[in-house]
C-alpha cells in the first residue's frame, strides 16, 4: 500500500502523445486571474469575478543519443502559429517501479503555446533541454494512460547521455579555431493573447495569440583558444583607420549538430560581444566566449 507521497520517480510526461524520457524537473504554475469591483460610497466590494486561469508548465530533461528533441521539427513561421500542443502529466503510486506499471492519475493541459526553449552544455555537464509552455486549460484526467508510459524499468545500455564529445559538428563562421567547451542557446517567443470583445470570460483555447517580434535567440559559445591569425579581426580594427569596421562580423548563420538527434539552427545572427579571459601565470587556459543575438531564425531538424 503506497503512502500517497509523490516522488520524482512516480511522475511522467507526454508531449503531443509522445512520452518524454530524461525529465529531471517539472513545475506547474496556475495563476487564478481574479478581479473585484468597488461599491461607490461603501467599504463593501460590489462583486468579485474570475477569468480563465493561466497555466505555465516548464520542464528540464537530460538528453541521450537515442532521444529526439522535444521541441517539434517545424519552420520558424509555423512554430509561432502553433498553439495546440498537448501535455499530459502522469502521477503513479510511490510503490510502483515505474509509472506505466500501475494505474496513474492524469492531468491534461491542452491548447498550449511554447513560450521558451533553451539548451545548455558545458565541458563537465550533460546536455539539457528546457521548455516552458503556457495555456489556459488544465483538467483532471483527460489523458489516455493505456500503455503510453509503459516504459521499461531499466533502459538498455545502448544509449549514452550527451556530453561535449557528442556534438558531432558545429558551424560558427566568425569564431576562430578552438575547442568548444560551453554552449548555451535560449529562445523566447513572448506569446500574447488577443481578448475577445463581448466575451465575459476568456475562452480557454485562446485561439488568437501572437508572438512578440522579432524573436530573439541568444547563443553563447566558449572555446579554449588556440593560436589563430584571424583572432585580431574579432577584437581590433585590422585596417588601422579610425572609423573602419574591417574584421567586424556581419549577419551569419550558426548550427550545432548532435550525434543521432538532429541539428539546432540559429539564423540571422550578429556577434554582440566577445570575452578573452585566462592565460595567467598559473598556467590556466585562455578561453574566448562569443555572444550572439539571432533574429527570427530558430529551428531544429531531427526532433520528434
Residue 2 within a domain: no
- Residue 79's nearest CA partner among 165, 182, 189 is 189
pLDDT at position 125: 76
The DSSP call for residue 8 is G
Residue 201 within a domain: yes
Residue 41 within a domain: yes
Query: What distance in Å separates the CA atoms of residue 71 and residue 199, rounded to the nearest whole number?
Result: 33
Range of the domain at 200: 8-301
pLDDT by residue for the chain (304 residues), tens only, comes to 556 666 555 688 899 988 888 888 999 999 887 878 888 888 888 888 777 788 999 999 988 777 788 898 888 888 888 999 999 998 877 777 677 666 778 899 999 999 999 999 877 778 899 999 999 888 888 887 665 665 554 455 556 776 666 677 778 877 755 678 889 999 999 998 887 766 655 566 656 888 999 999 999 998 887 766 655 555 544 555 555 555 566 788 999 888 766 899 999 999 888 888 887 888 788 888 889 999 999 999 875 5
pLDDT at position 55: 92
Number of domains in the chain: 1
In residues, how long is the chain? Answer: 304
The DSSP call for residue 141 is B
Strand-pairing partners, residue 27, are: 58
Beta strand ranges found along 136-232 (DSSP E): 138-140, 167-171, 178-188, 192-193, 209-210, 216-225
Residue 1 within a domain: no
pTM of the predicted structure, to 2 decimals: 0.84
Residue 218 within a domain: yes
Residue 3 within a domain: no
Residue 241 within a domain: yes
Residue 290 within a domain: yes
Query: What distance in Å separates the CA atoms of residue 184 and residue 124, rounded to the nearest whole number?
Result: 14
Amino acid at each position: 500500500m503506497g503512502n500517497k507521497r509523490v516522488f520524482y520517480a512516480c511522475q511522467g510526461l507526454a508531449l503531443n502523445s509522445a512520452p518524454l524520457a530524461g525529465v529531471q524537473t517539472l513545475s506547474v504554475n496556475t495563476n487564478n486571474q481574479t478581479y473585484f469591483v468597488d461599491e461607490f460610497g461603501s467599504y463593501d466590494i460590489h462583486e468579485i469575478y474570475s477569468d480563465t486561469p493561466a497555466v505555465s508548465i516548464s520542464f528540464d530533461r537530460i538528453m541521450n543519443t537515442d532521444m529526439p528533441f522535444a521541441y517539434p521539427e517545424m519552420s520558424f513561421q509555423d512554430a509561432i502559429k502553433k498553439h495546440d500542443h498537448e501535455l499530459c502529466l502522469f502521477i503513479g503510486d510511490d510503490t510502483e517501479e515505474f509509472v506505466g506499471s500501475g494505474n496513474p492519475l492524469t492531468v491534461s493541459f491542452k491548447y498550449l503555446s511554447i513560450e521558451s526553449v533553451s539548451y545548455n552544455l558545458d565541458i563537465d555537464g550533460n546536455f539539457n533541454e528546457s521548455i516552458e509552455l503556457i495555456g489556459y486549460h488544465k483538467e483532471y484526467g483527460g489523458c489516455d494512460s493505456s500503455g503510453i508510459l509503459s516504459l521499461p524499468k531499466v533502459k538498455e545500455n545502448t544509449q549514452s547521455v550527451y556530453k561535449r564529445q557528442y556534438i558531432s559538428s558545429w558551424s560558427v563562421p566568425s569564431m576562430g579555431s578552438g575547442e568548444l567547451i560551453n554552449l548555451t542557446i535560449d529562445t523566447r517567443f513572448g506569446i500574447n493573447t488577443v481578448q475577445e470583445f463581448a466575451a465575459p470570460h476568456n475562452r480557454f483555447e485562446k485561439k488568437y495569440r501572437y508572438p512578440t517580434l522579432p524573436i530573439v535567440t541568444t547563443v553563447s559559445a566558449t572555446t579554449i583558444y588556440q593560436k589563430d591569425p584571424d583572432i585580431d579581426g574579432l577584437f581590433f580594427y585590422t585596417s588601422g583607420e579610425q572609423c573602419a569596421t574591417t574584421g567586424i562580423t556581419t549577419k551569419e548563420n550558426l548550427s550545432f549538430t548532435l550525434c543521432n538527434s538532429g541539428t539546432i539552427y540559429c539564423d540571422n545572427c550578429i556577434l554582440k560581444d566577445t570575452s578573452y579571459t585566462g592565460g595567467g601565470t598559473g598556467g590556466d587556459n585562455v578561453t574566448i566566449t562569443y555572444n550572439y543575438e539571432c533574429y527570427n531564425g530558430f529551428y531544429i531538424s531531427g526532433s520528434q
